[in-house]
Amino acid sequence: MEERINAILNLLPKYNCKACGYKRCDLFAEALLKGENIEKCPFLIREDFKENLNKI
């Protein structure tokens, strides 16, 4: 599971901004594996990260 979390984490912005409701991006990555809504990360919808959003 740790490997899958890290794979997702590498695609996240890693700002640890808490906008998604999680304290850190790694916790959000873990939640994504459990079915959390990817759109909770406001940065992934930006053009800069759109390619990463598609990979996740």
Q: What is the pLDDT of residue 25?
A: 98
Q: How far is CA 21 from the centre of its chain?
A: 11
pLDDT at 6 over 90: yes
- Domains in the chain, please, with CATH? 2-55 (1.10.15.40)
- Please give the model's pTM, rounded to 2 decimal places: 0.91
Mean per-residue pLDDT, 3-14: 96
Provide the pLDDT for residue 1: 85
For residues 1 and 21, what is the distance between their CA atoms, to the nearest angstrom? 21
Give dist(CA 21, CA 55) in Å, integer: 22
How high does pLDDT run on average in the chain?
A: 95
pLDDT digits (tens, 9 = 90+) for 31-51: 999 999 999 999 998 999 989
Contact criterion met (CB below 8 Å) for 22 and 28: yes
